[in-house]
Amino acid sequence: MKQLEEAILKYGSAINEQVLKVDTFLNHQIDPNLMYLMAADILEHFKDKKIDKIITIEASGIAPALMVAYQLNVPLVFFKKATSSILNEELYQCQVHSFTKNKDYTLTASKNYIHEGEKLLFVDDFLANGEAALGAINIVKQANAEISGIAIIIEKSFQPGRERLTAEGYDVYSLARIKQMAANHIEFIKNE
């Protein structure tokens, strides 16, 4: 998506070969106009899919996922990275490793919000190694629901996330695919 790539180049910062900082428009401060355009692009890609709900993982995936849910007029369910004292009902849970924070966390979703047979679109801010998406898929499988697709805002294509997800048959759509990056250098792969 041209507007996203332009925002990454103008406002983003490649810290090194692995870390991209986009906190000026995506995951600290949020550009609502760009979010709206990204959501429309995602929905255009998945327009032929049945989608009952949008799912994501807190916190950085919430803004783009909410805009997709708003435009599709379906609920958004976000999975928590830690259990809470108010989550005392039955839960779906699995362990996930965070590439960004280099630690494991327990992904948690209430059984009240994901139901058998539902078709779910997973939306997240980044795809690197695929751990977050695979964790969300694990939760969805526990609920006997189905992933209709995976929408990613920024994919680090030099890491194995896409390969891991497409090998399992998932439709992965990324708005910006980074081929390589280094301090002050970002190169994109053009979407087919």
Q: Which two tokens stand for residue 117?
A: 């047979």
50 assigned to a ligand binding site: no
Give Cβ neighbours of residue 118 (< 8 Å, ≥ 6 apart). Answer: 52, 53, 143, 145, 146
Q: Which two tokens stand for residue 123?
A: 């939306």
List, for residues 85-101, the tens digit of each pLDDT value: 565 678 999 988 876 67
List, for residues 155-165, the tens digit of each pLDDT value: 999 999 999 99
138 assigned to a ligand binding site: no
151 assigned to a ligand binding site: no
27 assigned to a ligand binding site: yes
Find, among 85, 133, 140, the residue nearest to 109 by Cα.
Answer: 140
112 assigned to a ligand binding site: no
List, for residues 12-60, the tens digit of each pLDDT value: 999 888 889 999 999 889 999 999 999 999 999 999 999 999 999 998 9
Amino acid at 24: T
Instruction: Please name the CATH architecture into which domain 2-189 falls.
Output: 3-Layer(aba) Sandwich (3.40)
This prediction has a pTM of 0.94
For residues 24 and 74, is the Cβ–Cβ distance under 8 A? no
